[in-house]
Amino acid sequence: AQKVTQAQTEISVVEKEDVTLDCVYETRDTTYYLFWYKQPPSGELVFLIRRNSFDEQNEISGRYSWNFQKSTSSFNFTITASQVVDSAVYFCALGRSGNTPLVFGKGTRLSVIA
Amino acid sequence: DVKVTQSSRYLVKRTGEKVFLECVQDMDHENMFWYRQDPGLGLRLIYFSYDVKMKEKGDIPEGYSVSREKKERFSLILESASTNQTSMYLCASFRVRTEAFFGQGTRLTVV
């Protein structure tokens, strides 16, 4: 069975702090895909990153970075020097290689306080 | 600019009404989905479709049906709306091995 766990329900940080959002996944597939999405107050889910299971390289995009570790089945997301605009619900998701839907975690609500 | 468009942003319906939520994508994606989002429960899959006229039940299909007569359009139908179907509904589409694109969401209130 496929499962994604985001243990942190809500996180609150002060602006300019760094924050890490945790994501742990379960799958028996050897080929799979991991995603992070951001859902701002407007409601639409915005794609942030996709990682396939064969690529364990960490990725950095501006203030965002992702750490993929197959050994611990984790795909954590770090925001450096957080800003108020980062306030949103963040979802981690797991996908398979065929025509199957994504499985989402329950999301982490991040509040960045000025 | 790729797009998934949901027909309504906000909707208020009465208990027992038949409700149609429409979703259209312009990316020629094979796969389309309907999720429901509730506080503390995350996104739960209602139905998905991997081709025209094909559909598969997700985790919570009870009280819902779907229709996919054309590749670009995936409709969610609440046969007889109930108050426990008050929720945010999200439509998405994707091509295999790529990211899913989401619509803006429909916030449905059943009174």
Residue with tokens 């598969």: B56
Q: Which of A42, A87, A98, A105 is nearest to B103 (CA)?
A: A42
* Confidence (pLDDT) at B95: 85
Reported as a single tens digit per residue, the pLDDT across B28-86 is: 999 999 999 998 888 999 999 999 989 999 999 999 999 999 999 999 999 999 999 99
Please name the residue of chain A whose CA is at the shortest distance from the CA of residue B97: A97
**Chain A touched by B101 (CB under 8 Å):** yes
**Chain A touched by B43 (CB under 8 Å):** yes
A106 in Cβ contact with A24 (< 8 Å):
no
Q: How far is B81 from chain A (nearest CA, A)?
A: 22
E-assigned strands of chain B? 4-6, 10-13, 19-25, 31-38, 42-49, 56-57, 64-70, 73-78, 87-94, 101-102, 106-110
**Chain A touched by B27 (CB under 8 Å):** no
* Confidence (pLDDT) at B97: 77
Helices and strands in chain A, H and E counts: 0, 12
User: To probe the interface with B, which of A10, A45, A90 has the most B CB atoms within 10 Å?
Assistant: A45
- Looking at beta carbons, which residues of chain B come within 8 Å of A101? 31, 33, 45, 48, 58
Reported as a single tens digit per residue, the pLDDT across A43-92 is: 889 999 999 998 888 888 999 999 999 999 999 999 999 999 999 999 99
* Confidence (pLDDT) at B2: 66
Q: Which amino acid is at A18?
A: D
Cα atoms found within 13 Å of the Cα of residue B68, Cβ hemisphere only: 24
> Is the backbone of residue B103 left (phi > 0), alpha (psi -120 to 50) or beta?
beta
Please name the residue of chain B whose CA is at the shortest distance from the CA of residue A53: B97
**Chain A touched by B6 (CB under 8 Å):** no
